[in-house]
Structure 1
Amino acid sequence: MKKCLLILAVFAFTHLQAQKTYIHCGTLIDGYADKPTKERTIVIDAGRIAEVKNGFASPAKEDALIDLREYTVLPGFIDMHVHLEHETGKNKYMNKFTQNPEDKAFESVVYAERTLLAGFTTVRDLGGSGVNISLRNAINKGLIDGPRIYTAGKALGVTGGHADPTNGYSQKLMGNPGPKEGVINGIEDARQAVRQRYKNGADLIKITATGGVLSLAKNGTGPHFQEDEIRTIVETARDYGFHVAAHAHGDEGMQRAVRAGVTTIEHGTYMSEETMQMMKDRNTFFIPTLLAGDFVAEKAAEEGYYPEIIVPKAAAVGPQIFDTYKKAVKYGVPIGFGTDAGVFLHGDNGKEFELMVAGGMSEMQAIKCATSINASILQESENIGGIKKGVYADLVAVKGDPIKDIKLLQQIPFVMKGGVVYKSVN
């Protein structure tokens, strides 16, 4: 009897595994081609795309069918700059004194799900307390719903820099954080900090190469690392297969980071043409975070939203980021898609598309930035970033044509990640 039950169980499991999902797509934007195609069928097997067929192919009796003939189907989007541990609000600066790691963890679950349901099936988390590593692990284990996460863990900065976790503390509480806490002073610290991130389970390294807008410090643009420190970070990171993302607003800090070999420059507010040329020459990508700039400039005018030391920085940076982005597009700087979600509300990430188009990109260029281009930056083109044989079945769909109306990407009615539907049109 037990043997019969075992045979039945094996048969049932095999039958379940053999089931495929067919998706009929009225219009397909695959993340690679310059033009959409009509009437395609995506065949999904074991969470990955097995085939893309012309026309509306008929599934076998045991296979599933999802009818999206009235929709445009695109790859799931990739946001290269999010912070899933926190979200903007008037109490943000008090939360570090009132919240426990467990509070951050529960909130991050909400933010992760909101991000996924907005159509962002993959994100690069560029700095938190370390909860972001546990969040990634929980999603990978299937315990909670969220995007595929590549995380930097805790960002690296210098004493008093943008990533110093004790900025704004009283001297009694300030202490002297070091490499373990992400604070670096010298090349030995730099090596130790990278190795600590590896030990903690990070996927990449994030540094703050200049001051920042929302940190409790007066200067938001000055360089914060010596070039030899950044070069040591980059070289040590490569030993572990990591790339380095560099937060940078001021031009000198950007140039040091680019010369030292970072992969991406985040924000790039006061980027000069000289730096743009350096980035073109070295294939260093610019992640503009236009939506964050827009948001902080708006909130700077709202009394009491930010501490006084932050207001002038926030008021200046928003418009400047957009102007720099427009110049970078014309100059031909390599550009990816990233939002800095957490600086604004998680789930609003799709608004970045509209700003990118307003700043000079075509709709298809902006979509490619958030799909195949970002996948190449992550060196994950064989797994994510498009619709082709072999990649994960990460898909979104919208009613209408986003090439004619990019705002459609702000409200996503269908989301699939790894072959699992998280948001359905039916």
Structure 2
Amino acid sequence: MAVGTMTTAGRARRAAYSFALLAGCALAPLGAQAQDAAPAAKPVVLHCPALLDSVAGKMLGQSSVVIQGDRVTEVVSGYVTRPEAEVVELAGETCLPGLIDAHVHLSNEFTPTVYSDMLHFNLADWVVRSTVWAKRTLLGGFTTVRNLGDSHYETVALRDQINKGWVAGPRILTAGPAIGSTGGHADDGDGLRMDLQPDVGAHDSIINGTADAWKAVREHYKQNVDTIKIMTTGGVLDLSGSVDNSQLTEEETKALVAAAHEYGYIVGVHAHGAEGIRRAVVAGADSIEHGTFMDAQDMKLMKEHGTYYVPTIYTGTYVTEKAKGNPHAYPPAVQAKALLVGPQLMKTVGDAYKAGVKFAYGTDAGVYPHGENWKDFPLLVQVGMPAMYALQMATINAATLLKKDKDIGSVAAGKYADIVAVPGDPTKDITLMGKVDFVMKGGVVFKKGGAEQVFTSTAH
């Protein structure tokens, strides 16, 4: 570029910088005054007849949770009050840490028209709907989620606007688009006629080779994601013919995981087939998602490597039952795969638990309706897990997987005031997890007595 010339992009950047500088100078004093004038929030004390200690895996008796702002300051045995505190009585309830779903898709939801909707809807349509789905998820008691796959980083924007107080929703850790191979589960051109198949590459999260792997992860870093998702095998709901074939080489898998870890990301790996699972575990992946055809070797390796299993068990049953009930529920290629996964996944999850594999809770919500994320709990118990362990999966285990256990996953001093309550003891009746009637996230009550509370935007 010649001296004294500037590209259009360069001029735009300079203009944006100048505007930001001027705006900051003009508004900073006003913002500072407003902040100084804001009164301190009153402390809140929750009276919980029972409180889940997710770390110890036991139920505590009457407890008081003292909250200041968005954090817990004390957890006290028995009922106490504090000067000027608002006391919230949760009679008949069991209090739990805010639930964590480590596998959702907040900007999509499968309906009978979803495949045609993908051709007709603009990205803005999905984004608007995602605000509704995010709120339903929060009201279901899930105060934190890991979003493992979107289309164009739209859940990065959703995360940011929730954090800024524009819309109500859970705390989001997003992976942006999932990373896969040409023709693989992440390739949106699968099953389309040739003139509709885009020419995609690492910029679009489709890789072929190790150099592409590093480029794709770096692109995700550029777009400010929180985590990385990769696809080592086929999947159920794409229009290709295989659910379990391997779709990334060992070298590609290792490169993706190495690049992600280099940038400080945890890696969730979509993998149904045994070989794809093995490659991901050996590469150092942090979690295996689905794991339908996991074999004994995979389970042994996962124990050795400390890999978490996020089973999405209800999704498997949901797609199988839907396919059984309606021969036209899905396109033919999807229908055939959907019939396979449910029974096999139930067996695999039971076997993996007996083998001592570590579990974290994740649902794949979006394949089934958002807000129904609790429906994995009964199936986990059905395959042999104690209800207490299922609850730990959705609290401290998921927090530890996401490396957020200093802030979430248990009710303790210093952690976010993310607390939910159900009417009764879920360790005796796990279906109570579908009856969450109190939801607090970061000290703000979004649901009380089963009624949604009016959300007032705190954004400025």
TM-score normalised according to structure 1 size: 0.96
Equivalent residue letter for 1:29? L
Following TM superposition, by how much is the alpha carbon of 1:180 offset from its aligned partner in structure 2, in angstroms? Answer: 1.1
1:220 and 2:243 matched: yes
Following TM superposition, by how much is the alpha carbon of 1:260 offset from its aligned partner in structure 2, in angstroms? Answer: 0.6
Q: Which moved more, 1:187-196 or 1:234-243?
A: 234-243
Equivalent residue letter for 2:380? M
CA–CA separation in structure 2 for the residues paired with 1:175 and 1:30: 50
3-state SS in 2 of match to 1:350: helix
Distance of aligned partners of 1:239 and 1:9 in 2 relative to their CA distance in 1, 3 Å threshold: closer
Q: How does 1:317-396 map to 2 (within 5 A)?
A: 317-396=341-420
Following TM superposition, by how much is the alpha carbon of 1:131 offset from its aligned partner in structure 2, in angstroms? Answer: 1.2
3-state SS in 1 of match to 2:173: strand
3-state SS in 1 of match to 2:55: coil
Indicate conservation of the 8 Å contact 2:314/2:379, yes or no.
yes
3-state SS in 2 of match to 1:70: coil
Following TM superposition, by how much is the alpha carbon of 1:10 offset from its aligned partner in structure 2, in angstroms? Answer: 8.3
CA–CA separation in structure 1 for the residues paired with 2:253 and 2:400: 23
Following TM superposition, by how much is the alpha carbon of 1:34 offset from its aligned partner in structure 2, in angstroms? Answer: 2.4
* Residue from 68, 71, 84 that aligns with 2:90: 68
CA–CA separation in structure 2 for the residues paired with 1:177 and 1:153: 16
CA–CA separation in structure 2 for the residues paired with 1:80 and 1:401: 24
Q: Which moved more, 1:151-160 or 1:236-245?
A: 236-245
1:179 is aligned to 202
CA–CA separation in structure 1 for the residues paired with 2:53 and 2:441: 15
1:5 is aligned to none
Deviations 1:178-213 (A, max 9, x none): 011110000010000000011111111101110001
Following TM superposition, by how much is the alpha carbon of 1:30 offset from its aligned partner in structure 2, in angstroms? Answer: 2.5
1:120 is aligned to 142
Q: How does 1:396-411 map to 2 (within 5 A)?
A: 396-411=420-435
Q: Which moved more, 1:203-212 or 1:231-240?
A: 231-240
1:134 is aligned to 157
3-state SS in 2 of match to 1:224: coil
2:266 is aligned to 243
Equivalent residue letter for 1:108? S
1:283 is aligned to 306
CA–CA separation in structure 2 for the residues paired with 1:67 and 1:411: 18
CA–CA separation in structure 1 for the residues paired with 2:167 and 2:53: 28
Deviations 1:350-403 (A, max 9, x none): 011111111111011000000001100011111010101111000100111111
* Residue from 275, 280, 301 that aligns with 1:257: 280
CA–CA separation in structure 2 for the residues paired with 1:58 and 1:157: 54
Identity of aligned residues (%): 44
3-state SS in 2 of match to 1:29: strand
For structure 1, the residue ranges without an aligned partner over 5 or more in a row are 1-7
Following TM superposition, by how much is the alpha carbon of 1:176 offset from its aligned partner in structure 2, in angstroms? Answer: 1.6
* Residue from 105, 110, 118 that aligns with 1:83: 105
Following TM superposition, by how much is the alpha carbon of 1:304 offset from its aligned partner in structure 2, in angstroms? Answer: 1.9
Equivalent residue letter for 2:148? L
Q: How does 1:271-310 map to 2 (within 5 A)?
A: 271-301=294-324, 302-310=326-334
1:160 and 2:199 matched: no
CA–CA separation in structure 2 for the residues paired with 1:65 and 1:312: 54
Indicate conservation of the 8 Å contact 2:327/2:335, yes or no.
no
Deviations 1:229-271 (A, max 9, x none): 1111111111211011100010001101111111000000000
Indicate conservation of the 8 Å contact 1:30/1:388, yes or no.
no
Following TM superposition, by how much is the alpha carbon of 1:94 offset from its aligned partner in structure 2, in angstroms? Answer: 1.1
Deviations 1:7-60 (A, max 9, x none): x9889634x33x211011100113112221111100001211100011100221
Indicate conservation of the 8 Å contact 2:423/2:435, yes or no.
no
1:234 is aligned to 257
Tell me which stretches of 4 or more aligned residues in structure 1 moved more than 4 Å: 8-12
TM-score normalised according to structure 2 size: 0.89
2:440 is aligned to 416
Deviations 1:84-107 (A, max 9, x none): 011111111112210101000011
Equivalent residue letter for 1:30? D
Q: How does 1:2-17 map to 2 (within 5 A)?
A: 13-14=38-39, 16-17=40-41
CA–CA separation in structure 1 for the residues paired with 2:412 and 2:127: 35
CA–CA separation in structure 2 for the residues paired with 1:68 and 1:31: 19
2:26 is aligned to none
The aligned length equals 416
1:52 is aligned to 75
Following TM superposition, by how much is the alpha carbon of 1:134 offset from its aligned partner in structure 2, in angstroms? Answer: 0.9
Following TM superposition, by how much is the alpha carbon of 1:331 offset from its aligned partner in structure 2, in angstroms? Answer: 0.5
Indicate conservation of the 8 Å contact 1:90/1:304, yes or no.
no
Following TM superposition, by how much is the alpha carbon of 1:228 offset from its aligned partner in structure 2, in angstroms? Answer: 1.0
1:4 is aligned to none
* Residue from 285, 289, 293 that aligns with 1:270: 293
2:116 is aligned to 94
CA–CA separation in structure 1 for the residues paired with 2:288 and 2:176: 18
Alignment RMSD: 1.3
Following TM superposition, by how much is the alpha carbon of 1:166 offset from its aligned partner in structure 2, in angstroms? Answer: 1.3
3-state SS in 1 of match to 2:332: coil
